[in-house]
């Protein structure tokens, strides 16, 4: 009972608030505009922090002896020792001016060592772009040798030449140079996909709502996508194939969020016109926002908590997917509440057909009364 009372009190406080969302829109536009401008500057100067999928690189698969098959070597538990494993790999790569781009648990097989689908880690890193393929291959051999030493499979008596002769060299598999799996073609497909999606959204919004609402929805969705992209540039978050997935996820959530608000606006507009009252766009927009705001806050907070938990406990690849979605969640809430309804209030005018229909209905009612 107390929870219900608190909820009603919260709703009533928002409904009774005198805050004018439409009047203050100019202030709400400052934050997204600044973010987008900073993003454009960073794009022109530093560019995106492109990940392995866009740039390519090299890979190593390191046997971790997780089941203690070889008692003379240290055994690592992939569930609890991943940080220690990554630290060892990072130290080796740093000596070559490189860093871990991706690391995850995997399986490993080597017939010479009598190993079949045992525990291992897959490591990917970007090579120095100034080096030739031959120089990169030589560097990878050196990295493989140093990883073998770091994990105790080689000692100080070994040399790089032992990679060709000793079976123990197989504990670290050199995956060689991997070309970029994502290129300009995928970027173009993504851009075309987003444009087509926006056009379809505009058509659907125009049919279900009206031209003004459709325009406001499209502008809100565009703002969300631009803000997410700007945040990726500002925070220097790695951009890879998962970013494409995240953009479409943001697009879908942003459309849903905005449509929910505009459904309320449409209902309140129709109610006002059918009652024969003068339409006050600002009043309708503010009322619709205040009506939907409590639910939007609860939904956003719940999703935000889930995404933050996934970001905290997730591995690098998961974070690269979740972080842009998290940015999109906040941007969508912001635009659907503080910007899109105000844009509608500025531009919306009731169609003449609705006015004529309303007048015709009133004439019929007068005829019935007089009869």
2-6, 18-22, 86-90: the lowest-pLDDT one: 2-6
User: What is residue 183's predicted lDDT score, i.e. its pLDDT?
Assistant: 62
Q: Please tell me the predicted confidence (pLDDT) of residue 28.
A: 94
Q: In sequence order, what E strands does 277-349 have?
A: none
Quickly count: other Cβ atoms within 10 Å of residue 45's Cβ: 8
Contact 93, 308 (CB under 8 A): no
335 conformational bin, left if phi > 0, alpha if psi -120 to 50, beta if neither: alpha
Query: Tell me, what DSSP letter sits at residue 165?
Result: T
Average pLDDT in the 124-145 region? 90
pTM: 0.74
Residue with more model confidence, 176 or 359: 176
Identify whether the C-beta of residue 326 lies closer than 8 Å to the C-beta of residue 304.
Answer: yes
Query: Which pLDDT value is given to residue 312?
Result: 79
| Low-confidence winner among 10-19, 220-229, 327-336, 353-362 (lowest mean pLDDT) | 353-362
Q: And the tokens for 8?
A: 């009603």
Where residue 16 falls among pLDDT bands split at 50, 70, 90? confident
Q: Quick one: pLDDT at residue 352?
A: 57
Q: In this predicted model, what pLDDT tens digit does every residue of 135-154 receive, in sequence order?
A: 999 999 999 999 999 999 99
In the block, which residue shows the tokens 């525990």? 119
CB atoms within 10 A of CB 362: 11
Instruction: Flag the least confident range among 36-45, 106-115, 136-145, 182-191.
Output: 182-191
**What's the CA gap between 182 and 205, in Å, rounded?**
33
Band (19; pLDDT cuts 50, 70, 90) = confident
């Amino acid at each position: 009972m107390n929870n219900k009372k608190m909820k009603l009190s919260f709703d009533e406080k928002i409904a009774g608030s005198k805050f004018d969302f439409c009047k203050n829109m100019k202030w709400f536009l400052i934050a997204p505009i600044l973010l987008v401008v900073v993003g454009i500057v960073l794009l022109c100067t530093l560019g995106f922090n492109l990940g392995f999928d866009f740039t390519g690189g090299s890979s190593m698969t390191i046997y971790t002896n997780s089941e203690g098959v070889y008692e003379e070597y240290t055994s690592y538990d992939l569930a609890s020792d991943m940080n220690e494993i990554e630290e060892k790999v990072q130290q080796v790569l740093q000596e070559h001016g490189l860093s871990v781009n991706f690391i995850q648990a995997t399986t490993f097989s080597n017939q010479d060592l009598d190993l079949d689908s045992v525990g291992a880690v897959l490591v990917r890193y970007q090579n120095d772009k100034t080096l030739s393929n031959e120089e990169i291959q030589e560097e990878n051999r050196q990295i493989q040798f140093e990883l073998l030493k770091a994990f105790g499979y080689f000692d100080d008596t070994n040399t790089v030449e032992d990679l060709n002769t000793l079976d123990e060299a197989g504990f670290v598999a050199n995956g060689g140079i991997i070309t970029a799996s994502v290129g300009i073609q995928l970027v173009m497909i993504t851009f075309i996909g987003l444009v087509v999606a926006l056009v379809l959204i505009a058509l659907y919004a125009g049919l279900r709502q009206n031209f003004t609402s459709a325009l406001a929805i499209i502008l809100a969705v565009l703002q969300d996508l631009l803000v997410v992209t700007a945040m990726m540039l500002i925070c220097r978050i790695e951009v890879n194939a998962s970013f494409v997935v995240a953009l479409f996820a943001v697009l879908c959530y942003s459309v849903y969020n905005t449509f929910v608000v505009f459904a309320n606006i449409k209902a309140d507009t129709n109610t006002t016109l059918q009652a024969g009252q003068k339409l006050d766009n600002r009043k309708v927009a503010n009322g619709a926002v205040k009506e939907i705001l409590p639910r939007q806050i609860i939904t956003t907070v719940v999703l935000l908590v889930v995404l933050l938990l996934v970001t905290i406990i997730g591995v690098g690849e998961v974070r690269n997917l979740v972080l842009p979605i998290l940015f999109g969640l906040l941007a969508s809430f912001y635009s659907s509440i503080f910007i899109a309804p105000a844009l509608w209030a500025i531009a919306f005018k009731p169609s003449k057909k609705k006015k004529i229909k309303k007048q015709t209905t009133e004439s019929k009612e007068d005829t019935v009364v007089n009869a």
